Amino acid sequence: DAGVIQSPRHEVTEMGQEVTLRCKPISGHNSLFWYRQTMMRGLELLIYFNNNVPIDDSGMPEDRFSAKMPNASFSTLKIQPSELRDSAVYFCASSLPRGNQPQHFGDGTRLSIL
């Protein structure tokens, strides 16, 4: 069974550039979550979607971050413009709907802003 697929696995870019991270959830999972992991702040939920609709984006740090889910099998997280402090590992996770279902994580995108 294919799990959650994230791309790219690694991204290195210069400060000020636009960064787009991609996620393909597990087929049939109607909930999708974007997390950021850093040593200082641990695992933080940025935003989550139910049935392609953003439900809670209170974790999105600022307007430079945006996320979309145009269909049930694809989501993007965009940072524009990127800053040094955005360096982190970004995870996408998906689950069945209706709350408190196991979340299945991808292997993440390691983002380095130079």
Q: Which residues bind another protein (CB under 8 A)?
A: 4, 31, 33, 42-45, 48, 50, 55-56, 91, 93, 95, 97, 99-108
Q: Find residue 54's DSSP bridge partners.
A: 49
Shortest Å, Cβ 95 to another protein = 6
Query: Which one, 93 or 113, has the nearer CB to another protein?
Result: 93
65 vs 91, beta carbon nearer another protein: 91
* The CA-based dihedral angle spanning residues 36, 41, 43, 46, taken in that order and rounded to the nearest 10 degrees: -50
R_g over Cα of the chain: 13
Cβ–Cβ < 8 Å for 102, 41:
no
CB of 53 to another protein, least distance (A): 11
Residue 34 in contact with residue 90, Cβ under 8 Å? yes
Provide, rounded to whole angstroms, the least separation between the CB of residue 81 and another protein: 27
Q: Which is nearer to another protein, 70 or 102 (CB)?
A: 102
As measured in angstroms, the least distance from the Cβ of 15 to another protein is: 25
For another protein, the closer of residues 31 and 75 by Cβ is 31
Question: What is the Cα–Cα distance from 29 to 80, expressed in whole angstroms?
Answer: 28
Closest residue by Cα to residue 22 from 111, 109, 113: 109
